[in-house]
Amino acid sequence: MNWDTAYALQARSDLEAREHLATSRRLPECHELHYVQMACEKLCKAYLARRGSTPETLRKSHAYISKILPVIVQQTLSREAGRFSKNTWIVSAIGNLARQIELLAPSVDDAGSVPANCEYPWVSPNGEITVPAQYSFGLTLLHEKAGMALLKVLRSTIDELLSSDETND
């Protein structure tokens, strides 16, 4: 198995976990967002691995989403031009959403200026300890048009990566 396939398979699993969690409104939003963040990160790493990045390079960072995800979205939408040709705003909206998703990882905090993350408690600017499960991240975009388009692109790209890998075997 190649690294691109391994990352794509795990991205698919993370996205499926997110979809399962999204059906339960009793869970805090940090759990759904955590799986979205992880799926996006692994999809970006699958994309980069397919283009020759080494596993060592890919393991060193979690900050791939804001740069790579818009490229993936643009390429996917250009292949599916009929569905999105009149909605060029989607690429821009997903680009903004990609940065918000990237900041959900605890290691990507903009040099300490954005401590909120989906995994670990943090100290807020007022000195209070904040727990992700009790925090509102305000990423309602996932349930709006751009967010839904992003989730479709994630599924489509993961499926494409995996199906092209099967045809190359």
pLDDT digits (tens, 9 = 90+) for 119-153: 999 998 888 999 999 998 876 667 777 788 888 88
How far is residue 83's CA from residue 36's CA, in Å, rounded to a whole number?
Answer: 23
Segment 62-68 mean pLDDT: 82
pLDDT at 47 over 90: yes
Distance set, CA 118 to CA 6, 122, 133 (Å): 24, 10, 8
Q: Dihedral sign, CA of 149, 40, 58, 159? A: negative
As a whole-number percent, the residues of the chain with pLDDT over 70 amount to 88
* pTM of the model as a whole: 0.86
How far is residue 105's CA from residue 145's CA, in Å, rounded to a whole number?
Answer: 23
Distance set, CA 161 to CA 7, 73, 86, 153 (Å): 10, 14, 26, 12
What Rg do the C-alpha atoms of the chain give, in angstroms?
16
Binning pLDDT at 50, 70 and 90, where does residue 81 land?
Answer: low
